[in-house]
Amino acid sequence: MNKRIHVRRWLLVFVGAWLVWAVALAGPEQDRQAFVEYFQQRFPQVPMSEYANGVYAIDEDARAQWREIEEFPPYEFALEEGENAWKKGPGGGTTYAACFQADPADIRPHYPAFDARAGQVETLETALNRCRLEQGAEALAYDSEEMIALTAYLAYLSRGRPLQVAVPQDEPRALAAYESGKQFYYSKRGQLNFSCYDCHVISAGQYVRADRLGPSLGQPTHFPVYRSKLGQVISLHQRFHGCVRDVRAKPFELQGEEFRNLEYFLTYMSNGLEINGPGARK
């Protein structure tokens, strides 16, 4: 038994090393295909669509508990607040819908996006604040209840729609932002010397104390999420902040360039998976 475990661990290291090598030499779409192939080989029993459910795709016990929680979703209050905030608009006599000029249900699938005018990645949160500033309203704090409620509401409207994040191949700045996010993802940091890749690719499915580490594939689909241990809904960047802190490194600013580029890379890796946010996690 011990020999089998030892061989399996070395196999995971080998396949993981192949993934790092493959993405180092590839463009965004080749990266995504290698990413997907890795998880299909790692968890051959898991249908591709199930990765939208995060760790519940690979943990049956946790999945059963999650289904019970979803009967009375703890994030419903955020959906109500988000709907009210969306209808109220940013001020100045206009609406958020006028800023985005799109069906509200079709907004979330296209973020984050590269903003050629600003020369940087724009997330859904920064887009909402840009709308507010253009209408003379104050920007919302990125960890505020109103901002998180707005993104939860838009995610809910988009349930069942696939992520469609674009990295324009004719825009060098977009490719540079994507590569910056990829570098962040694979770089080790903190006193524990861990990277996102170490926990959510190589160690996906393994236990950390009593919890399994979820796969990176599909992680952005269900944010924002209600965290039971926190008793509140949090954003993807707040989860990034917590991960960086947990490896004993200094976290970056919410919606700062580092986290926006990381979100750009990570979301592109999950292109095609259906949005099912907001989610519920421990």
Say yes or no to pLDDT of 1 above 80: no
Residue 165 lies in a domain: no
Is cis: bond before 251, omega within 30 of 0? Answer: no
* Range with lowest mean pLDDT among 60-64, 71-75, 126-130, 168-172: 60-64
pLDDT number for residue 92: 76
Say yes or no to pLDDT of 210 above 90: no
- In which domain, by residue range, is 261 found? 44-72+174-281
Q: Indicate which CATH number applies to the domain containing 64.
A: 1.10.760.10
pLDDT one-digit tens code per residue, 149-198? 999 999 999 999 999 999 999 999 999 999 999 999 999 999 999 999 99
30, 53: one domain: no
Residue 276 lies in a domain: yes
274, 181: one domain: yes
Could you give the residue numbers annotated as active site? Answer: 243
> What is the b/e burial string over 149-184, where b = at least 16 CB atoms within 10 angstroms of the residue's CB?
bbbbbbbbbbbebebebebeeeeeebbebbbbbbeb
pLDDT number for residue 211: 84
The span from the CA of 141 to the CA of 158, in Å, is 23
Question: Average pLDDT of the chain?
Answer: 92
